[in-house]
Amino acid sequence: MLPNDVKNIFRNYIREKGLRNTRQREEILDAFFSAEKHITVEKLFASIKAKNPGIGYATVHRNLTLLCECGLADEMKIGRQKTRYEPKFGQKHHDHLICLKCGRFIEVNDNKIEKLQDKLAELNDFIPVRHKLEIYGICKDCK
Amino acid sequence: MLPNDVKNIFRNYIREKGLRNTRQREEILDAFFSAEKHITVEKLFASIKAKNPGIGYATVHRNLTLLCECGLADEMKIGRQKTRYEPKFGQKHHDHLICLKCGRFIEVNDNKIEKLQDKLAELNDFIPVRHKLEIYGICKDCK
DNA sequence: TTATTATTGATAACAAATATCAATATCAAG
DNA sequence: CTTGATATTGATATTTGTTATCAATAATAA
Ligand SMILES: [Mn+2]
Ligand SMILES: [Mn+2]
Ligand SMILES: [Zn+2]
Ligand SMILES: [Zn+2]
């Protein structure tokens, strides 16, 4: 079961925008926060469809977009792959090590790197807003 | 005019693979190394077509792929944007600051960051192969 | 010069993301 | 609890960027 805070963020966002809550929305929210991180629409759709064959792909897609809008999800594009989504709630920023063999995502954070990035931006008279650091290589299980 | 080394790398690669050199290939090579960095197929195609209306989009695309294969170009995907290509010849690795307003790419390199990345990978029992660091924000001309 | 076959350019096919739309469900108001 | 306005859904069409196809042409080696 997922924290009530998460549900409330979503429900409040929906109400505030004059939208409506639906069975599908609750299902998608639940499934998304229970599923593997960095999931594609396709996979999330499949997992929901297993229990609710009536669900539509477009509905899942649309609601993932909504989840991004209200800050409960982040969209990520890795190379030519399909867009992935990762649930976001009360966790700080992180970067990824991505295994070239098995595709595993390892979440990492290095405060020194983050600080140096800010320095680097400043040095170039550049105001950093967000960043993406991906290290591709071979994970311990694959070597 | 571009260094003869570049032309030779391309020509040698072509010969070694049993391929053939063509007027279009020379044109594309020239145009690519004269054009703005981080260019899309579409833009490169347009710039070539201005002088040679007969050129085909697919030909430009195919040859950019060839250039990547022989190490004279790097492909880069930024979010949902079209694939970009950047010429590569005798220059070391760099990362990018990307302006959210004007789209400008600023090339940067920070050796400390690179070292820390390797450390971070090692700490996770991960063999780094390549990485991508993009810092999005506002460039000095846009703020 | 000739034969072989890689290349080209036009266009078709493909895949992912998004838009469309009629049927349906939500929910505020009475 | 109805009812009416309208947001949502699910099926499918459209769009977009990329890649494949193929007949005509051009590049190379013999
Ligand atoms: Mn993550
Ligand atoms: Mn660059
Ligand atoms: Zn792995
Ligand atoms: Zn700018």
Domain-embedded: residue A142: no
Q: What is the pLDDT of residue A4?
A: 84
Buried b (16+ CB within 10 A) or exposed e, A43-66: bbbebbeeeeeebeeebbbebbeb
**Secondary structure (3-state) at B42:** helix
Same domain, B83 and B124: no
Q: What is the pLDDT of residue A123?
A: 98
Count of C-beta atoms within a 10 Å radius of residue A12: 11
Q: What is the pLDDT of residue B142?
A: 97
Domain-embedded: residue B143: no
Same domain, B31 and B64: yes
Same domain, B22 and B55: yes
The structural domain count of chain A equals 2
| Listed residues: CB within 5 A of ion ligand 4 | B 99, 101-102, 104, 139, 142
Say if residues B6 and B29 touch (Cβ distance below 8 Å). Answer: yes
Mean pLDDT of A67-86: 97
| Structural domain of A16 | 4-87
Average pLDDT for chain A:
97
pLDDT in tens, B7-65: 999 999 999 999 999 999 999 999 999 999 999 999 999 999 999 999 999 999 999 99
Same domain, B79 and B103: no
pLDDT in tens, B61-82: 999 999 999 999 999 999 999 9
Tell me the whole-structure pTM to 2 decimals.
0.93
- Give the distance, in angstroms, between residue B18 CA and nucleotide C4 C1': 13
Rounded CA gap, B130 and B133, in Å? 10
Domain-embedded: residue B109: yes
- Chain C positions with any atom < 7 A from a protein CB: 6-11, 16-20, 25-28
Same domain, B16 and B64: yes
Instruction: Write the DSSP string, B59-115.
Output: HHHHHHHHHHHTTSEEEE--TTSPPEEEE-SS----EEEEETTT--EEEE--HHHHH
Q: What is the pLDDT of residue B22?
A: 98
Same domain, B78 and B118: no
Which two tokens mark A75? 């969209």
Same domain, B126 and B68: no
Where residue B99 falls among pLDDT bands split at 50, 70, 90?
A: very high
Q: What is the pLDDT of residue A56?
A: 98
Rounded CA gap, B21 and A30, in Å? 57
pLDDT in tens, A97-133: 999 999 999 999 999 999 999 999 999 999 999 999 9
pLDDT in tens, A12-22: 999 999 999 99
Domain-embedded: residue B114: yes
Q: At what angle do helices A41-51 and A57-69 cross, to 10 degrees?
A: 120
Same domain, B20 and B38: yes
> Which of B127, B139, B143 is the best substitution to test chain A (most A C-beta atoms within 10 A)?
B127
Same domain, B39 and B67: yes
Residue B31 burial class via C-beta count within 10 angstroms: exposed 0-12, middle 13-18, buried 19 and up: buried
Where residue A33 falls among pLDDT bands split at 50, 70, 90?
A: very high
Same domain, B81 and B26: yes
